[in-house]
Amino acid sequence: MSNSKEYKRVTVKSLVEMKASGEKISMLTAYDYTMAKIVDGAGIDVILVGDSASNVMAGHETTLPITLDQMIYHASSVVRAIERSLVVVDLPFGTYQSDSKEALRSAIRIMKESGGHAVKLEGGKEIKDSIKKILNAGIPVMGHLGLTPQSIYKFGTYSVRAKEEEEAEKLLKDAKLLERLGCFAIVLEKIPAKLAEKVAEELRIPVIGIGAGNGADGQVLVLHDMLGMTHEFNPRFLRRYMNLFESMTNAIGQYVSDVKSSEFPNNEEQY
Ligand code: KIV
């Protein structure tokens, strides 16, 4: 039996309530109007306009190249589609790390120009001044620890983070700091399940995992991965709910063949 309460609109407060009542939080990415309308209508709690748009929508190898203007474009398209979900928007690489005033300016642009409801930043202690400044302006902040793709050149690989005790301890400390600063939730990416469970147990705010096991308070996946539109990316944590790559390839192939053979359009499909 579900212990879900009905939320007409999901807010940052609803998420903390969900955690307190033991209801798991569902989160997916979206980057455009049409997909966001489907995701919102299907009942997702949180839509993340992730900087993974850099990979998924633009074909870049990393999340580093996407700009603030591009994130605002994606986020405003998503916001126009939603009725219920909370929309969280990633601050892209280079828009919050140098100083806290720039971080605040970037967050304000996202909120003003896209209509998103919150921002997400990658990192812990190193970016605490930026987080504080954004929170002081009344903008809700989601943290992101573990594998933080904007630092990929520092890590060198996309492998599991915080397997060693020292890094695990730093992650737990950072998570507690983010909660103390006032973040409303934290994403934990690609870390051992036991560590994510411990962080979720020790924090009051929700912990949303991706590749972080079932002990987190919620789960997030990249929409195009879970729908099976992408097929080269196969991490262990990814569950594909469809094989859209195959269905779309077949549908488009059929269309090509129908056009070539003059099967399309038929008498009913013309004026
Ligand atoms: O950009 C993104 O899609 C993300 C998720 C992987 C959490 O940050």
In a domain, 3, yes or no: no
Q: What pLDDT digit, counting tens, does each position of 121-162 carry?
A: 999 999 999 999 999 999 999 999 999 999 999 999 999 999
Residue among 164, 179, 189, 201 flagged as catalytic: 189
Whether residues 48 and 131 share a domain: the answer is: yes
Sequential pLDDT tens for the chain (271 residues):
455 788 999 999 999 999 999 999 999 999 999 999 999 999 999 999 999 999 999 999 999 999 999 999 999 999 999 999 999 999 999 999 999 999 999 999 999 999 999 999 999 999 999 999 999 999 999 999 999 999 999 999 999 999 999 999 999 999 999 999 999 999 999 999 999 999 999 999 999 999 999 999 999 999 999 999 998 889 999 999 999 999 999 999 999 999 999 999 999 999 9
Residue 192, in any domain of the structure: yes
Contacts of 38 (CB under 8 A, 6+ apart): none
* Overall domain count for the chain: 2
Contacts of 32 (CB under 8 A, 6+ apart): 57, 74, 77, 78
Is residue 228 assigned to a domain?
yes
Q: What is the pLDDT of residue 137?
A: 98
CA of 144 to the centre of ligand 1 (A): 9
Distance CA 20, CA 26 (A): 15
**Which residue's CA is the closest to the ligand 1 atom numbered 5?**
50
Predicted local distance difference test score (pLDDT) of residue 1: 46
Q: Are residues 143 and 255 in the same domain?
A: no
* 189 and 267 assigned to the same domain: no
Total-model pTM: 0.97
**Domain limits for position 231:** 12-240
Instruction: Please indicate, yes or no, whether residues 254 and 122 belong to a single structural domain of this protein.
Output: no
Please tell me whether residues 159 and 217 are part of one structural domain: yes
Ligand 1 pocket test: which of 27, 158, 210 has the largest number of ligand atoms within 8 Å of its C-beta?
Answer: 210
Give the CATH number of the domain where residue 140 resides.
3.20.20.60
Same domain, 268 and 167: no
Contact 75, 34 (CB under 8 A): no
Q: For the segment 73-109, what is each residue's pLDDT rounded down to a tens digit?
A: 999 999 999 999 999 999 999 999 999 999 999 999 9
Closest-CA residue, ligand 1 atom 8, reads 50
Name which residue sits closest to atom 1 of ligand 1, judged by CA: 50
Q: Which atom of ligand 1 is nearest to the CA of 122?
A: 8
Q: Would 2 be classed as within a structural domain?
A: no
189 is catalytic: yes
Question: Are 218 and 235 contained in the same domain?
Answer: yes
CB-CB contact of 132 with 126 (8 Å): no
What is the C-alpha separation between 66 and 263, in angstroms, rounded?
Answer: 42
